[in-house]
Structure 1
């Protein structure tokens, strides 16, 4: 019993540590990816911990760029500062290494959106957005005829948004 209580505490502290270390709000799916890729906690247990941490006001959900993101609260930060030493050094090292390797991808996921909807005439409205430092850089809406085109535009935006943005800007400025 005592060992499982220590493990429970360490796992919840690890969630707090990830939110503090990443230095920006992240989505639940991004947190889940970090935890699962490192094999720390299974999905269902993690979701239970997130729910309990929210209930305890250690973390909370906020809205950022139309996305629901997790944020470490002041209360959570205080608890982490008092009990961080309860997280094993190997887990801290793994988290730090993971974040360092993937921070650009995580930021990109938070600042780019690409989605589409279908209207009454079976046309697809694609919405592509780029946001940087809470400032909307571009919000482009394009009507396309097929689901295939909509998916292709979204995929291209997600994989190459910087180049696409620069080309659009050059076309608009130089025309």
Structure 2
């Protein structure tokens, strides 16, 4: 069993603070785990231990949103990071800085676009589709379909094309309202 030095523990905590600060939106445990493991910054168990320690020390804030754990950096975490950013290896900072835009976009898409289905009766599936922006529901759509295949296809299409579908729904609703009142657009 390898023993991790205090220097390495501190560096790993700074890496976590750096990523969460740079992302600048709430990040789920799953998302931070994926980033850390894909880049081999540390192992899973170390990551979970350090996240817990950073929350306990008030460097990170833990929120439970829709039964998912999300982390944000606290003012104390930002202040500490500003003092010790130089202790993060330059190669790691560059890697994070160069990929932060993609990371942020992936997190936004994963976090704010959701689609799932449940069996609601014999040969009935309820599909729930959502688009959220900054913890505000733009749309929360539920439809019932007769086959599991239809439910899956709706979920796939929503995840890939939710912005287009949302725009089409809004346009259709506005168009119908104007048409019914006799007004011209």
Q: TM-score, normalised by structure 1?
A: 0.88
Cα deviation digits, residues 93-142 of structure 1 (max 9, x gap): 11111212332222122221212222254522111111223332111001
Q: Determine the C-alpha separation between the residues in 1 that align with 2:85 and 2:131.
A: 36
- 8 Å CA contact retained: 2:23, 2:103: no
Instruction: Tell me the secondary structure at the aligned position of residue 76 of structure 1.
Output: helix
Give the ranges of 4+ consecutive aligned residues of structure 1 lying more than 6 Å apart after TM superposition.
Answer: none
Greater CA drift, 116-125 or 71-80: 116-125
Give SS of 2:111's match: helix
Partner of 2:79: helix, strand, or coil?
helix
Distance in 2 between residues matched to 1:2 and 1:164, nearest whole Å: 52
Could you tell me how far 1:3 is from its partner in structure 2? Answer: 7.3
Aligned pairs for 1:11-90 (under 5 A) are 11-64=12-65, 67-90=68-91
Aligned 8 A contact 1:65 1:134 in 2: no
Which runs of 5 or more residues in structure 1 are unaligned? none
Deviation at 1:88, TM superposition (A): 0.7
Compared CA separation, residues 70 and 3, structure 1 to 2 (3 A): closer
Larger radius of gyration: 2
Equivalent residue number for residue 106 of structure 1? 107
C-alpha displacement of 1:163: 0.9
CA distance in 1, matches of 2:62, 2:117: 25
In the alignment of these two chains, the number of paired residues is 175
* Contact kept? 1:65, 1:111, Cα under 8 Å: no
Partner of 1:4: 5
SS at match of 1:102: helix
Aligned-CA RMSD value: 2.2
CA distance in 2, matches of 1:66, 1:167: 30
Structure 2 unaligned residues grouped into runs of 5+: 177-185
The TM-score with structure 2 as length reference comes to 0.84
Contact 1:34/1:98 (CA < 8 Å) preserved in 2?
no
CA distance in structure 1 between the aligned counterparts of 2:27 and 2:54, rounded to whole angstroms? 15
In structure 2, relative to structure 1, the CA distance for the partners of 1:163 and 1:148 (3 Å cut) is same
Shift in Å at residue 5 of structure 1? 1.5
* Cα shift at 1:62: 1.5
Measured after TM superposition, the shift of residue 145 of structure 1 is: 2.2
Q: Which has the higher contact order (CA 8 A, sep 6+)?
A: 1
